[in-house]
């Protein structure tokens, strides 16, 4: 049986989207500066419900500086090893921000759980502060879509993950 989200998989758009997100380690985060100049960055991520995404970055990174002035982002998650013509991805619009205050402990726990499951380490709040040079960021997706497999180029299908 082919897993949902992989080439040749059958399933509902929601099953395909969840399969892609769960199987992927990296997402491409698309940001823009105040003048609208685009920038994209691959980042390792953790998620909750395929809607809330977390990653670590330096606040000095271009994408982090862009989020500070323009929090609207695009996210693409896909298997870059899929053969030509068979790939599938999940596309999202989201709003991003650094995680601070009362939500930090929950966010760190989510990120650490996934990090540990992929052979990395546990993270703590002490790892993501001004002294460490890293911050934890969060994006909440407000829509999801995947490519339709109907022969039309870049024909996207909305996905309801509720």
Segment 65-89, tens digit of pLDDT: 999 999 999 999 998 888 887 889 9
Which CATH code of 3.90.180.10, 3.40.50.740, 2.30.110.10, 1.10.760.10 fits the domain covering 13-150? 2.30.110.10
Q: What is the mean pLDDT of the chain?
A: 91
Cα 88 from Cα 15, distance rounded (Å): 12
Note the pLDDT of residue 6. 44
Q: Work out the pLDDT band at 7, boundaries 50, 70, 90.
A: very low
Mean pLDDT, to the nearest integer, of 123-152? 91
Q: How do the domains of the chain map onto residue ranges? A: 13-150
How wide is the angle at C-alpha 22 spanned by C-alphas 21 and 23, nearest 5°?
A: 95
pLDDT band at 61 (very low <50, low <70, confident <90, very high): very high
Rounded to whole angstroms, the Cα distance separating 46 from 35 reads 30
Per the model's pLDDT, the better-predicted residue between 8 and 124 turns out to be 124
Contact indicator for 94, 60 with CB cutoff of 8 Å: no
Contact between 74 and 89 (Cβ < 8 Å): no
Give pTM, 2 decimals.
Answer: 0.91
| pLDDT reported for residue 71 | 98
Looking at residue 4, what is its pLDDT? 47
**pLDDT of amino acid 127:** 95
Residues 87-117 pLDDT 10s: 899 999 999 999 998 899 999 999 999 999 9
Distance set, CA 55 to CA 36, 47, 81, 146 (Å): 23, 9, 22, 22
Confidence of residue 5 (pLDDT cuts 50, 70, 90): very low
pLDDT of 85 reads: 79
SS3 state at 156: strand
Of 5-9, 51-55, 98-102, which range is least confident?
Answer: 5-9
Between 48 and 155, the more confident residue is 48
């Amino acid at each position: 049986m082919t897993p949902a989200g992989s080439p040749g998989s059958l399933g509902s758009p929601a099953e395909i989207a969840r399969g892609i997100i769960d199987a992927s380690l990296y997402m491409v985060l698309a940001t823009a500066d105040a003048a609208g100049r685009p920038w994209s960055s691959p980042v390792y991520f953790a998620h909750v419900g395929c809607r809330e995404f977390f990653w670590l970055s330096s606040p000095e990174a271009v994408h982090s500086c862009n989020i500070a002035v323009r929090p609207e982002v695009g996210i693409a998650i896909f298997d870059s090893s899929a053969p030509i013509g068979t790939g599938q991805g999940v596309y999202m619009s989201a709003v991003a921000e650094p995680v601070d205050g009362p939500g930090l402990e929950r966010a760190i726990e989510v990120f650490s759980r996934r990090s540990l499951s992929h052979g990395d380490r546990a993270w703590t709040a002490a790892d993501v502060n001004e002294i460490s040079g890293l911050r934890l960021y969060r994006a909440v997706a407000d829509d999801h879509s995947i490519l339709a497999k109907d022969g039309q180029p870049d024909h996207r299908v909305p996905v309801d993950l509720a």
